[in-house]
Amino acid sequence: MSDEKTPRQPVSGIKGTHDILPPDSAVWQKLEQAVRDIFELYGYREIRTPVFEATELFEKGTGQTSDIVTKEMYTFTDKGGRSVTLRPEYTPSVARAIIEHRLYLEPRPLRYYFVGPMFRYDRPQKGRYRQFHQIDAEVFGETDAAIDAELVEMADRLFRRIDVGETEIVINSVGDRNCRPAYLLDLRAAAEAVAPSLCPDCQRKAAANPLRIFDCKVEACRELAKSFPEITGYLCAECADHFHRLRAHLDADGIRYRVEPRLVRGIDYYTRTTFEMTTTKLGAQNAILGGGRYDDLMKDFGGPDMPAIGFAIGVERLLSVASLKAESRPFVYLAYLGDEAKIRAVELARSLRQGGVECLLEFKERGLRNQLARASKLGAAWVLIAGEEEVRKGRFQVKDMRSGLQREAAREELAAIFGRSDS
């Protein structure tokens, strides 16, 4: 009894998550459709993996020293005592699936894409969520720099399709396991020399993984990092050649880009190419795409030697700059009067829907005037009036809500009327 009387507190959504409501959900659908259309033209196929994985997958894949693993993972112990993590990024899951299902035995290269939620326990702020969404593309089994350029082109094509406005493409090479160690030695020496002036986080990074200092947002660290050695001068012949060929392909494709030697990206597994796309329309969180090559990841996961490259686009940020509108489809509001007409209206709605006409029928007793007002409020393109008289005669009144004109039509004419005005 007392429960009945206590006012119920509504439960709110979790901080850092958000609902995608209509009509916005239609914009999401439109974006997802554009992704499917474009990526499939390039030979990519959708791959769906579970939302959670064994924690060690990300520790091993994303890397022990990455910000994602050190600070941002949503990790739980399940009832079986296993440590599981809500995926913070998609690449480790795809690599795991390829190895587990031996997809590498299929004709190469393997090209996959996915659109879905990722989870990072970060401080929520504008453009940073705890559950956000990414568009992900991955290619496994392709070494040539032409594929690096093609990925950039594919993302660029998507951005143009949904009209994101001005973007900047930034590229770099972070070398590989041959040439990076020498660079890291010099970088670590430079970082340690100025360590007392770095933020506490970067002081730790100076010893553990000095490359991460380039990701720091603290102004003092950014200033100091400008004096650090650049990787470009350390690249081995193979990495330098790969980078040179990537640039040549981008030039040939007419894609404008900027080389940024400090673009190292926040994940440990990158080798050679890294790239980012930023927009001039956003403030601090201006990166809408991040990507790069990870030629050693499959080997490190115990799989075959299979070079790979991919990117991830942040959907929330992308949509905040895209000019993507949801067009509402014209629909029919079916107004009926009386019980007999109601039964016939249900039947009529069914046959109209079968013919592909969107049709709304509400089950509330209302007078005709109220139903018309309701149809107008909901934005119906037409009102189809089924009074008892109309139902008996098999002829209906159709009101075009845009022109305000009303006409009588036989049942057989309806699909054509709604179909015709639709076009």
For position 161 contacting ligand AMP by CB under 6 A, the verdict is no
Nearer Cβ to ligand AMP (131/397): 131
Which residue is nearest to ligand AMP, using beta carbons?
A: 314
Specify the stretch interacting with ligand AMP by CB under 6 A; choose among 29-37, 74-82, 312-320, 347-355: 312-320
Which of 329, 422, 338 has its CA nearest to residue 386?
A: 338
Using the CB atoms, write b or e for 359-385: b if 16+ within 10 Å: bebeeeeeeeeebbebbeeeebbbbbb
Of 63, 175, 310, 314, the one binding ligand AMP (CB under 6 A) is 314
Q: How far is the CB of 317 from ligand AMP (least distance, A)?
A: 4
Q: How far is the CB of 92 from ligand AMP (least distance, A)?
A: 11
Of 288, 306, 308, 381, the one binding ligand AMP (CB under 6 A) is 288
Q: How many CA atoms lie within 13 A of 276 on its CB side?
A: 18
Q: How far is the CB of 83 from ligand AMP (least distance, A)?
A: 22
Nearer Cβ to ligand AMP (288/384): 288
Nearer Cβ to ligand AMP (132/243): 132
Q: Please tell me whether residue 361 adopts helix, strand or coil conformation.
A: coil
Residue 173 is encoded by which pair of tokens?
């090479």
Within 379-408, which residues bind ligand AMP (CB under 6 A)? Answer: none
Of 63, 92, 109, 290, the one binding ligand AMP (CB under 6 A) is 290
Of 112, 114, 129, 140, the one binding ligand AMP (CB under 6 A) is 129
For position 312 contacting ligand AMP by CB under 6 A, the verdict is yes
Tell me how far apart the alpha carbons of residues 186 and 154 are, in angstroms, rounded to a whole number.
Answer: 36
Q: How far is the CB of 287 from ligand AMP (least distance, A)?
A: 4
For position 18 contacting ligand AMP by CB under 6 A, the verdict is no
For position 122 contacting ligand AMP by CB under 6 A, the verdict is yes
Q: How far is the CB of 67 from ligand AMP (least distance, A)?
A: 9
Convert residues 82-121 into a mask of x (bound to ligand AMP by CB under 6 A) and - (unbound). -------x------------------------------x-
**Residue 54 backbone dihedrals phi, psi, to 5 degrees:** -60, 135
Angle at Cα 413 formed by Cα 410 and Cα 419, nearest 5°?
145
Tell me how far apart the alpha carbons of residues 423 and 421 are, in angstroms, rounded to a whole number.
Answer: 6
Q: How far is the CB of 59 from ligand AMP (least distance, A)?
A: 16
Single-letter amino acid code for the residue at 61: G
Element (H, E) at 286: none
Which of 325, 328, 326 has its CA nearest to residue 381?
A: 328
For position 307 contacting ligand AMP by CB under 6 A, the verdict is no
Positive or negative, the CA dihedral 254, 112, 114, 126 is negative
Which of 64, 154, 179, 76 has its CA nearest to residue 119?
A: 76
Of 317, 342, 344, 399, the one binding ligand AMP (CB under 6 A) is 317
Cβ-count burial of 124 within 10 angstroms (0-12 exposed, 13-18 middle, 19+ buried)? Answer: middle
Nearer Cβ to ligand AMP (289/341): 289
Cα 340 versus chain centre, distance: 49
Convert residues 211-250 into a mask of x (bound to ligand AMP by CB under 6 A) and - (unbound). ----------------------------------------
Q: How far is the CB of 114 from ligand AMP (least distance, A)?
A: 13
Single-letter amino acid code for the residue at 109: P
Of 184, 287, 360, 368, the one binding ligand AMP (CB under 6 A) is 287
Contacts of 23 (CB under 8 A, 6+ apart): 326, 328
For position 266 contacting ligand AMP by CB under 6 A, the verdict is yes
**Residue 90 backbone dihedrals phi, psi, to 5 degrees:** -100, -30
Q: By the criterion CB under 6 A, which residues form the site for ligand AMP?
A: 89, 120, 122, 127-129, 132, 134, 266, 287-290, 312, 314, 316-317
